[in-house]
């Protein structure tokens, strides 16, 4: 399935995404989108009544209805996720759960 | 009563088309088999559509009445789902020429349909065993040593599941009589501490990949053929979800189990290098959502779980298809060895992104209309911690399945690989799935109308939902982007990660080594003692014992001078004569007399 002709030709045309400038452009658009959704949330929270997912008597009710709660939660969830995963791989240079690829065959 | 009789409300079993197709492909070769692979699910799908809710068929066998088929709304929905999944997977596997894989895949789909329509525990058990046996050929089909071993490990789990189910059914039958064979909910029995119900839950739990029982999934699927996981991901775990929804709706314990299932795999998924294994972890995470929904147990939550099973089969199949196409074209599936494939596989990339958007529950994609029901119900019913877990899991699944899969396979650093675009049949299959993902995302009512309770009163496209969901997704992506730019994101490394399989693959091996050392050591010692020592001594006694006794008897006579042979030569001569049993007649008579005297004394004493 894999054969040498699959590999890159030297005279291959370069793609739009090959240029770092364009990648930066995409990332900038993405930041803009993030700001936009926060603005939408803000306007929606102030201007209309946002439905709360949690019931009134729930301890997190007040926090959940704050604008940008979901964004901040999602952001920190992912940062936490990545850091915990890194610890799962190894801690202070020692492997925790990570092993070499032929580990099971050993 | 020993007569075989059956009553049929319906013309034939709903799995008939797939069963016949599976049998036909045993004998057909080449394109003919592939055409059956597509026609059988099509006929089956048409037939399921004609079934009336409430119909059933029974079979009288050896005095038992087996309720072979019961058609209800849930069974019909899963019937549609399994046929659609088989059709798409069939188109995807059109180029396959391995008769084992082709026929077993159709039979596998048939057993799944059988489980969905099973009317009582007996028929459920038969189809359940069928699921285990027919599915393993998708792993063995790869024909490598690793695949063969993984297949046996897979089979070990699934055969155990079947045996646990049987044990549970028998325990309940002996405790509660024939009524216990019905598929009525066992939630009360489970919560009342009924052992049979617990065993049945465990049996389903193995197939649903409950935490700790999940390793067969990431182990088996990652070793399967390129088309194998497309079949595997559609049926086994969804049969388990179908049965959980039937037997254990509202079981509190499922909320905790589901919460754990939704959480722990995402950590593994972030550091996993094998991209199909990443999908396996995200699959466990998605089943976690369904299990939570069933555990909450309200009509809407169970509808959410079933709807999520429906959308999940389609988008997860799509993701496995795109990764299968990458594996097929490059022979490689490790993230560390892939990248930049979008240049030559643009269609596959596009379809993969649709699948990624669906699993991440982007509005307008299928995951959104089902997952949000479960999350909303968790919040509404006051399961605050689980709600936070599910939100975390939604962010996490976007992070690893939504971004990581397409990013590391098709973008990221350029691996220099320039494979051809996937074959046309694979593109068609992925295209159909993509259209379904978007169609269901945009027209959730089509799906809701099929649900047992019609998802009464639920509207996914309310502004709060859309905005909060987009917010959580975009900010998860922001975290990914920033961590990547700052070089903090864990790179793809050629590695494996220890999971619960360490217990039986390494600790188990250690246990074997211990057993070998201990029992073989014991055996060696026993051998040395009983065989070498004792037997030797017995032999020695039998060989030399009488000589020794005679020497002891002879000695006093020599000392008192009644007999000759006091010298060393005389001794040696006596020993030789004794061992050969040749003595002068006088001596023999003397010793005989002594023995007789001895016996006489013994008698008088």
Phi, psi of B192 (to 5 degrees): -85, 5
pLDDT at B25: 94
Pull the structure tokens for residue B135. 């599915």
CA-wise closest residue to B215 among B116, B283, B167, B313:
B283
pLDDT at A3: 45
Chain A CB within 8 Å of residue B490 CB = yes
Say yes or no to pLDDT of A2 above 50. no
pLDDT at A4: 43
CA-wise closest residue to B275 among B209, B231, B238, B327:
B327
Give the H/E segment covering residue B488.
none
Chain A CB within 8 Å of residue B281 CB = no
Euclidean distance between CA atoms B188 and B201, whole angstroms: 13
Chain B nearest-CA residue for A40: B467
Mutate to test the interface with A, among B148, B264, B267 (most CBs of A within 10 A): B267
Please check whether residue A2 lies inside any domain of the structure.
no
Say yes or no to pLDDT of A48 above 80. no
Pairing of strands B5-8, A98-99: unpaired
Chain B nearest-CA residue for A33: B474
Determine whether the interchain pair A81/B328 forms a contact, defined as Cβ–Cβ distance below 8 Å: no
Please check whether residue A6 lies inside any domain of the structure.
no
**Which among B331, B375, B493 is the nearest to A1, CB-wise?**
B331
What is the least distance, in Å, from the CA of A49 to any CA of chain B?
9
**Range ranked top by mean pLDDT from A5-9, A53-57, B140-144, B178-182:** B140-144
Which ipTM value was assigned to this complex? 0.87
Say yes or no to pLDDT of B440 above 50. yes
CA-wise closest residue to B39 among B24, B26, B49, B29:
B24
Mean pLDDT, residues B189-195 taken together: 92
pLDDT at B581: 77
- Residue B265 gets which letter from DSSP? H
State how far the alpha carbon of B507 is from the alpha carbons of A104, B237, B512, in Å.
12, 27, 8
Q: Which chain A residues are Cβ-neighbours of B498 within 8 angstroms?
A: 97-99
Mean pLDDT, residues B587-601 taken together: 85
Q: How many of the other CB atoms lie within 10 Å of CB of B16?
A: 16
Higher pLDDT, B568 or B21: B21
pLDDT at A81: 93
CA dihedral defined by B238, B242, B247, B248, rounded to 10 degrees? 70
Phi, psi of A48 (to 5 degrees): -120, 175
3-state secondary structure of B580: helix
Please check whether residue A75 lies inside any domain of the structure.
yes
Provide the number of structural domains found in chain A. 1
Determine whether the interchain pair A85/B490 forms a contact, defined as Cβ–Cβ distance below 8 Å: yes
Mean pLDDT, residues B283-308 taken together: 96
Please check whether residue A4 lies inside any domain of the structure.
no
Determine whether the interchain pair B419/A33 forms a contact, defined as Cβ–Cβ distance below 8 Å: no
Chain A CB within 8 Å of residue B486 CB = no
- Alpha helix (H) residue ranges in B398-534: 405-410, 424-442, 444-450, 463-485, 501-502, 508-526
CA dihedral defined by B318, B321, B325, B326, rounded to 10 degrees? 70
Euclidean distance between CA atoms B442 and B352, whole angstroms: 19
3-state secondary structure of B126: helix
Determine whether the interchain pair A33/B329 forms a contact, defined as Cβ–Cβ distance below 8 Å: no
Chain B CB within 8 Å of residue A59 CB = yes
Chain B CB within 8 Å of residue A88 CB = yes
Q: Chain A neighbours among B 505-544 (CB < 8 Å)?
A: 505
- pLDDT band for B355, please (50, 70, 90 cuts): very high
8 Å CB contact between B370 and B310: yes
8 Å CB contact between B94 and B425: yes
Pull the structure tokens for residue B295. 């555990």
Minimum mean pLDDT range among A1-5, B227-231, B415-419: A1-5
Say yes or no to pLDDT of B299 above 50. yes
State how far the alpha carbon of B425 is from the alpha carbons of B92, B221, B230, B438, B584, in Å.
6, 22, 14, 20, 104
Burial class (CB in 10 A: 0-12, 13-18, 19+), B195: middle
Q: What is the pTM of this model?
A: 0.87
pLDDT by residue (tens digit) across B133-182? 999 999 999 999 999 999 999 999 999 999 999 999 999 999 998 889 99
pLDDT at A1: 41
Euclidean distance between CA atoms B314 and B447, whole angstroms: 13
8 Å CB contact between B57 and B9: yes
Chain A nearest-CA residue for B330: A2
Pairing of strands A98-99, A94-95: unpaired
Block residue for tokens 């589901």: B258
Domain of residue A80 covers 12-105
Chain A nearest-CA residue for B411: A17
Pull the structure tokens for residue B300. 């809407």
Say yes or no to pLDDT of A59 above 90. no
- How far from each other are the two terminal CA atoms of chain B, in whole angstroms? 78
- pLDDT band for B553, please (50, 70, 90 cuts): confident
Q: Chain A neighbours among B 231-270 (CB < 8 Å)?
A: 266-268, 270
Euclidean distance between CA atoms B570 and B564, whole angstroms: 7
What is the least distance, in Å, from the CA of A32 to any CA of chain B?
11
Minimum mean pLDDT range among B61-65, B455-459, B544-548: B61-65
CA-wise closest residue to B251 among B179, B178, B197, B329:
B197
Determine whether the interchain pair B476/A48 forms a contact, defined as Cβ–Cβ distance below 8 Å: no
8 Å CB contact between B211 and B264: yes
Phi, psi of B140 (to 5 degrees): -60, -25
Euclidean distance between CA atoms B329 and B331, whole angstroms: 6
Mutate to test the interface with A, among B226, B269, B271 (most CBs of A within 10 A): B271
pLDDT at A93: 79
pLDDT at B509: 84
What is the least distance, in Å, from the CA of A26 to any CA of chain B?
11
8 Å CB contact between B462 and B359: no
What is the least distance, in Å, from the CA of A53 to any CA of chain B?
6
Which residues are within 8 A (CB) of A57 and not within 5 positions of it... i.e. 6 or more apart? none
Q: Chain B neighbours among A 10-49 (CB < 8 Å)?
A: 12, 15, 17, 27, 30-31, 33-34, 37-38, 40-41, 44, 48
Please check whether residue A7 lies inside any domain of the structure.
no
8 Å CB contact between B338 and B326: yes
What is the least distance, in Å, from the CA of A67 to any CA of chain B?
9
Q: Which chain B residues are Cβ-neighbours of A9 within 8 angstroms?
A: 418
Query: Long-range CB contacts (< 8 A, 24+ apart) of B50-59?
Result: B51/B10, B51/B14, B51/B76, B51/B79, B52/B10, B55/B9, B55/B10, B56/B9, B56/B10, B56/B119, B57/B6, B57/B7, B57/B8, B57/B9, B57/B10, B57/B13, B57/B119, B58/B6, B58/B7, B58/B119, B59/B4, B59/B5, B59/B6
**Range ranked top by mean pLDDT from A62-71, B315-324, B336-345:** B315-324
Question: How far is C-alpha B43 from the geometric centre of its chain's CA atoms?
Answer: 30
Mean pLDDT, residues B344-371 taken together: 95
For B199-219, give one letter per residue: b (16+ CB within 10 A) or e: bbbbbbbbbbbbbebbbbbbb
Mutate to test the interface with A, among B222, B464, B494, B509 (most CBs of A within 10 A): B464
Pull the structure tokens for residue B327. 């594996």
pLDDT by residue (tens digit) across B49-89? 999 898 888 888 777 788 889 999 999 999 999 999 999 99
8 Å CB contact between B10 and B51: yes
Determine whether the interchain pair A41/B477 forms a contact, defined as Cβ–Cβ distance below 8 Å: no
Tell me the pLDDT of chain B averaged across its residues.
Answer: 91
SS3 content of chain B, % helix, strand, coil (to 5): 75, 5, 20
Chain B CB within 8 Å of residue A82 CB = yes
8 Å CB contact between B442 and B448: no
Chain A nearest-CA residue for B344: A6
Pairing of strands B56-61, B64-70: antiparallel
8 Å CB contact between B414 and A8: yes
Determine whether the interchain pair A82/B270 forms a contact, defined as Cβ–Cβ distance below 8 Å: yes
Mutate to test the interface with B, among A10, A20, A29, A81 (most CBs of B within 10 A): A81
Euclidean distance between CA atoms B281 and B360, whole angstroms: 14
Q: Which chain B residues are Cβ-neighbours of A14 within 8 angstroms?
A: none
């Amino acid at each position: 399935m894999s054969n040498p002709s699959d590999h890159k030709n030297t005279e291959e045309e370069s793609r739009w995404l090959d240029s770092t400038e364009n990648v930066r452009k995409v990332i900038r658009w993405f930041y803009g989108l993030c700001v936009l959704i926060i603005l939408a949330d803000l306007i929606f929270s102030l201007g209309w009544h946002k439905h709360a997912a949690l019931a009134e008597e729930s301890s997190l009710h007040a926090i959940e209805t704050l604008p940008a709660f979901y964004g901040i939660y999602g952001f920190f969830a992912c940062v936490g996720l990545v850091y915990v995963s890194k610890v799962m791989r190894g801690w202070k240079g020692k492997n925790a759960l990570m092993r070499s690829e032929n580990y099971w065959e050993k | 009563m020993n007569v075989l009789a059956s009553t049929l409300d319906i013309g034939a079993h709903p799995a008939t088309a797939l069963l016949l197709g599976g049998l036909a492909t045993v004998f057909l070769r080449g394109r003919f088999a592939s055409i059956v692979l597509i026609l059988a699910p099509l006929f089956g799908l048409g037939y399921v559509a004609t079934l009336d809710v409430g119909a059933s068929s029974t079979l009288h066998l050896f005095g038992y009445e087996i309720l072979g088929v019961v058609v209800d709304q849930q069974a019909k929905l899963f019937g549609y789902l399994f046929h659609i999944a088989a059709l798409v997977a069939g188109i995807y596997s059109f180029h396959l020429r391995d008769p084992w894989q082709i026929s077993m895949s159709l039979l596998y789909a048939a057993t799944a349909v059988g489980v969905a329509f099973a009317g009582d525990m007996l028929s459920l058990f038969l189809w359940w065993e069928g699921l285990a046996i027919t599915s393993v050929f998708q792993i063995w089909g790869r024909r490598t040593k690793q695949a063969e071993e993984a297949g046996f490990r897979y089979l070990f789990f699934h055969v155990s599941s079947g045996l646990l189910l049987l044990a549970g059914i028998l325990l309940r039958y002996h405790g509660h009589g024939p009524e216990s064979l019905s598929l009525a909910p066992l939630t009360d029995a489970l919560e009342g501490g009924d052992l049979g119900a617990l065993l049945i839950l465990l049996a389903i739990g193995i197939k649903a990949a409950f935490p700790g029982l999940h390793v067969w999934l990431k182990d088996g699927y990652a070793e399967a053929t390129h088309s194998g996981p497309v079949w595997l991901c559609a049926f086994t775990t969804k049969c388990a979800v179908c049965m959980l929804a039937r037997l254990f709706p509202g079981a509190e314990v499922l909320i905790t189990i589901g919460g754990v299932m939704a959480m722990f795999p995402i950590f593994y998924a972030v550091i996993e290098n094998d991209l199909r294994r990443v999908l396996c972890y995200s699959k466990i995470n998605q089943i976690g959502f369904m299990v939570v929904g069933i555990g909450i147990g309200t009509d809407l939550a169970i509808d959410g779980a079933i709807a999520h099973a429906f959308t999940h089969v389609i988008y997860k199949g799509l993701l496995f298809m795109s990764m299968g196409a990458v594996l097929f074209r490059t022979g490689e599936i490790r993230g560390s060895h892939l990248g930049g494939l979008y240049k030559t596989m643009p269609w596959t990339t596009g379809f993969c992104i649709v699948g990624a958007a669906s699993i991440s529950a982007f509005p307008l994609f299928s995951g959104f209309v089902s997952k949000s029901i479960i999350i909303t119900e968790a919040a509404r019913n006051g399961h605050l911690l689980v709600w936070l877990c599910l939100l975390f899991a939604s962010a996490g699944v976007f992070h690893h399945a939504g971004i990581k899969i397409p990013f590391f396979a098709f973008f990221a650093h350029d691996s220099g690989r320039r494979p051809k675009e996937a074959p046309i049949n694979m593109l068609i299959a992925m295209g159909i799935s993509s259209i379904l993902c978007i169609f269901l995302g945009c027209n959730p009512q089509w799906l809701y109308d099929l649900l047992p309770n019609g998802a009464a009163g639920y509207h996914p496209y309310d502004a709060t939902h859309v905005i909060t969901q987009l917010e959580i997704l975009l900010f998860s992506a922001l975290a990914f982007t920033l961590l990547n730019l700052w070089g903090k994101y864990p790179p793809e490394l050629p590695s494996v990660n220890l999971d619960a399989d360490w217990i039986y693959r390494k600790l188990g091996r250690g246990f074997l080594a211990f057993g070998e050392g201990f029992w073989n050591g014991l055996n060696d010692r026993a051998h040395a003692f009983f065989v070498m020592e004792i037997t030797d001594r017995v032999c020695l006694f039998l060989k030399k014992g009488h000589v020794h006794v005679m020497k002891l008897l002879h000695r006093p006579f020599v000392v008192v001078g009644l007999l000759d042979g006091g010298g060393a030569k005389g001794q040696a001569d006596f020993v030789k004569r004794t061992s050969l049993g040749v003595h002068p007649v006088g001596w023999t008579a003397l010793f005989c007399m002594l023995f007789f005297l001895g016996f006489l004394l013994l008698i008088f004493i």
